[in-house]
Amino acid sequence: MRCGLRWLGSTRFTLVGMALLAIGAALSYDNPVTTPVWVLVIPLLLLAVNLLLAIIVNPAINRRAGLLLFHVGLLSVVVLVAIGRLTFMEAHIELVDGAAFDRDAMFDVRQGPWHSGDLDRIRFIQQGYSIDYRPGMKRGLTYNHILQADADGRLQAGVIGDDRPLLLDGYRIYTTSNKGFAPRLTWVADDGLMVSGSINMPSYPLLYFRQANEWTPPGGETIKFWLQLDTGLKEDSAWVLEPKQARGTLIVNEAGQRVELQPGQSLALKGGTLHYDQLSSWMGFKLFYDPTLPWLFVSAILTVLGLFIHYGQKFSAEPLLLNSKTDKKLLSLSSGKMA
């Protein structure tokens, strides 16, 4: 029993675990759907057991402060990554200007079985964006405006974008490159029923040539829309995408006829009247939640700190170049001075 535990905590077993983890990592390259998560979980479990036993039974580790800190740190990283995968959440959401975060509008939601974050505490309102573009349509910085409630419930303005996420109750909310225009429409059915909303057009400027979508109003027939935009887009020079400054003509196909609508105009269709209220924009956000992130960072830093402590002790205890007579002689030959 003791012999078995010692083997499980040995550096030879570490090599087995590392080899398995290397195979798992290679198989996980680019996150193929066909690769099961177990190719990583099993080696990590084996390495966690190996680390734990090594810390307990291996005096070469537990009697050296630096190495002990390194291995404890490494074990904490493995445990925290596991907890993180059990409690994480990832999702996407598209919000039109003026819209508040709505958990029901999220899509591509993935979460761990122990996820316990309170999505109801995420309160912010999308307020539009502007994005710098460099020549060649290369996207620059995103300035996405939001309103968020402070501790007293008052709305405060803020700007997020790219690597500056909105941090709310452990959730990190990022802007994405997926964004576009959204004509606001009101449908008044012949029976008086009124519906207002917006139609999100495809991502802009990525799909600037294909700004089309369709919608079936209650009591009406499917309407096909095209959006003709004037955003000042310049492919070969610097440009700022400012949806609030953009103009958009909504083109509707009515009985084979092309009808152009400007904001404020209406069109009578079969079953009701369509009002084009105004041109708006939408932003695609990514939500990320992992409560272990700060602890993971601290553990990782302690791990490296352990390494440096160990090196400091080892290198000062064994000054390599003065260990043998030959090397002393060589040093005196070279004497540190250049010819």
Binding to other proteins by residue 76, rule CB under 8 A?
no
**Greatest CA separation found in the chain?**
103
CA-to-CA dists, residue 308 to 51, 56, 73, 302, angstroms: 19, 21, 13, 10
* Nearest residue to 81 (alpha-carbon basis) of 292, 306, 288, 297: 292
Cα dihedral sign, 312-315-317-322: negative
Tell me the C-alpha distance between 235 and 135, whole Å.
6
| Minimum distance of other proteins from residue 304's CB (angstroms) | 5
| Minimum distance of other proteins from residue 188's CB (angstroms) | 41
Q: Choose one: 197-205, 216-224, 257-265, 307-315; the region binding other proteins (CB under 8 A).
A: 307-315
- Residue 205, preceding peptide bond in cis (omega within 30° of 0): yes
Binding to other proteins by residue 10, rule CB under 8 A?
yes
Q: Which of residues 172-191 bind other proteins (CB under 8 A)?
A: 172, 174
Which residues make Cβ contacts (< 8 Å) with residue 274, sequence separation at least 6? 185, 186, 187, 217, 223, 252, 261, 266, 267, 268
Token pair, residue 257, equals 């006829």
| Minimum distance of other proteins from residue 3's CB (angstroms) | 16
Binding to other proteins by residue 330, rule CB under 8 A?
yes
Token pair, residue 54, equals 């090594």
Q: Choose one: 106-114, 224-232, 259-267, 313-321; the region binding other proteins (CB under 8 A).
A: 313-321
| Minimum distance of other proteins from residue 52's CB (angstroms) | 16
Residue of 5, 7, 26, 196 interacting with other proteins (CB under 8 A)? 26
Report the residue number, 97 or 290, with the smaller CB distance to other proteins: 290
* Nearest residue to 163 (alpha-carbon basis) of 276, 262, 14, 288: 288
Residue of 6, 14, 78, 233 interacting with other proteins (CB under 8 A)? 14
Binding site for other proteins (CB under 8 A): 10-12, 14-15, 18-19, 21-22, 25-26, 28-31, 60, 90, 134, 136, 138-142, 161-165, 172, 174, 286, 288, 293, 296-297, 300-301, 303-304, 307-308, 311, 315, 320-321, 323-324, 326-327, 330-331, 333-339
